[in-house]
Amino acid sequence: MIEEVMPGIYRIEVPLPDETLKTVNSYLLKGKERDLLVDTGMNKKECWEALLSALRELGTSPEKIDIFITHIHHDHFGLAMPLASKEATIYLNARDAEFLKDLRVPGKELVYARLNGFPVDEVQKAMWQRDEFIKTTSLEELKKALPGSAGDDVPQSKRFHFLRDRDILNIGEYSFECLMTPGHSSGHLCLYEARHKILFSGDHILEDITPAVFLWPGDKRNPLKEYLNSLDRVMELEVEAVLPGHRKVFQDYRERISELKEHHYYRKEEMASFLDANGKNAYQIASKASWNIPLPWEQFPPHLKWMALAETLAHLKYMEENKQVKSELRDGVMVYYRS
Ligand SMILES: [Zn+2]
């Protein structure tokens, strides 16, 4: 499905086979010499065919496009490298790419599982999405191109252009400012066009889906705090059309931001309510929380339990830094209790 959402900007709905999200948005922006594609879909045959036929219909082809990636999740980034021609530039943020460097540190997941009470025999099964991502993405090429330190004056490779906050991308009559909006991923970028009041929101703000916020193994950040700050940042913008990573274009972003903040407030309060003086580990807390999955916890497939654990840890980290909860290592397992 193709829809012209603004003059010269087309939303292409790319199917996501076997994914609960069903579809992802890829946007084509027509330029003078080269066009720009925002996000791509997964590295799967169905995505590839849908995207190529849409590009053809819009009078362009991979040879004519550069690619901008809002964040390096498989549904947005998966086709970027297979699709990019020799002349193409792939614009992405260095912080997300840096995260991929550590993706294959052996044993990191096991340490994280043990520390948080996750059943160790389910770790392998929980990892299938990550394994699939590694298998289908040319990570080696990306890793070679990565700057030594993210964010500074980095040498850009021919193929990858690592973007920083407030960098400008000009395409056609539009001039977009890159806005670092970490939270859903560590280097998530939105694109803002102040003159036309357009925001490409990636998965930072979606209209009817709540973007997940995770704390993954080895991550020292406070992703929920970053996410809430990134919501505040967007709240201050003047926007007439939000072009999201999934579903339709929408307008009421301020109301939506308030809902998302409320969601995380109640989620953290719910998790806090399970805590007592004795303490519980993150897996025990995750198993009690209300998830938007129509199954009892025992029947969650391992990868959903793993994501629920990572989301629980993001909330626990936030509460711990706010002195709402305390943690303590007991027999090799981190337990949380009310402070
Ligand atoms: Zn997504």
Nearby residues for ligand 1 (ion, Cβ within 5 Å):
75, 203, 245
Q: What is the pTM of this model?
A: 0.93
pLDDT score at 152: 46
Q: Among 320, 325, 197, 199, which residue's Cα sits nearest to residue 257?
A: 199
pLDDT score at 155: 45
Q: How far is the CA of 273 from the centre of ligand 1 (A)?
A: 30
- CB distance 63 to 95 below 8 Å: no
Per-chain mean pLDDT for the chain? 91
Coil, helix or strand for 336?
strand
Q: How far is the CA of 274 from the centre of ligand 1 (A)?
A: 30
Mean predicted confidence (pLDDT) in 33-56: 96
The owner of tokens 């990565």 is: 146
pLDDT score at 131: 74
Percent of the chain whose pLDDT exceeds 90: 76
Q: Is 166 left (phi over 0), alpha (psi -120 to 50) or beta?
A: left
Tokens of residue 305, six digits: 């339990």
The 10s digit of each residue's pLDDT in 49-71 is 999 999 999 999 999 999 999 99
Q: How sure is the predictor about 108, in pLDDT bands with cuts at 50, 70 and 90?
A: confident
Please, which residues have CB within 8 angstroms of residue 298's CB and are 6 or more apart in sequence? none
Q: Which residues of 323-333 are buried (b: 16+ CB within 10 A; e: fewer)?
A: ebbebeeeeeb
Q: How far is the CA of 30 from the centre of ligand 1 (A)?
A: 23
Q: Which residues of 29-65 are buried (b: 16+ CB within 10 A; e: fewer)?
A: bbbeebbbbbbbbbbbeebbebbeebbeeeebebebb
Q: How far is the CA of 327 from the centre of ligand 1 (A)?
A: 32
Tokens of residue 40, six digits: 């791509």
The 10s digit of each residue's pLDDT in 71-106 is 989 899 999 989 999 899 999 998 888 777 666 666
Q: How far is the CA of 186 from the centre of ligand 1 (A)?
A: 14
The owner of tokens 């337990």 is: 335
pLDDT score at 138: 67
The owner of tokens 């709240």 is: 235
The 10s digit of each residue's pLDDT in 258-272 is 999 999 999 999 999
- Measured distance between the N- and C-terminal CA atoms of the chain, rounded to whole angstroms: 52
Q: How sure is the predictor about 150, in pLDDT bands with cuts at 50, 70 and 90?
A: very low
Q: How far is the CA of 242 from the centre of ligand 1 (A)?
A: 15
How many angstroms separate the CA atoms of 101 and 137, rounded?
A: 13
Q: How far is the CA of 278 from the centre of ligand 1 (A)?
A: 38
Tokens of residue 171, six digits: 């395409």
Q: How sure is the predictor about 133, in pLDDT bands with cuts at 50, 70 and 90?
A: confident
Please, which residues have CB within 8 angstroms of residue 274's CB and are 6 or more apart in sequence? 280, 284, 285, 288, 289
- CB distance 182 to 227 below 8 Å: yes
pLDDT score at 104: 63
DSSP 250: B
Please, which residues have CB within 8 angstroms of residue 306's CB and are 6 or more apart in sequence? 118, 122, 123, 126, 127
The 10s digit of each residue's pLDDT in 295-334 is 999 999 999 999 999 999 999 999 999 999 999 999 999 9
Q: How far is the CA of 252 from the centre of ligand 1 (A)?
A: 20
CATH topology of domain 2-266: Metallo-beta-lactamase; Chain A (3.60.15)
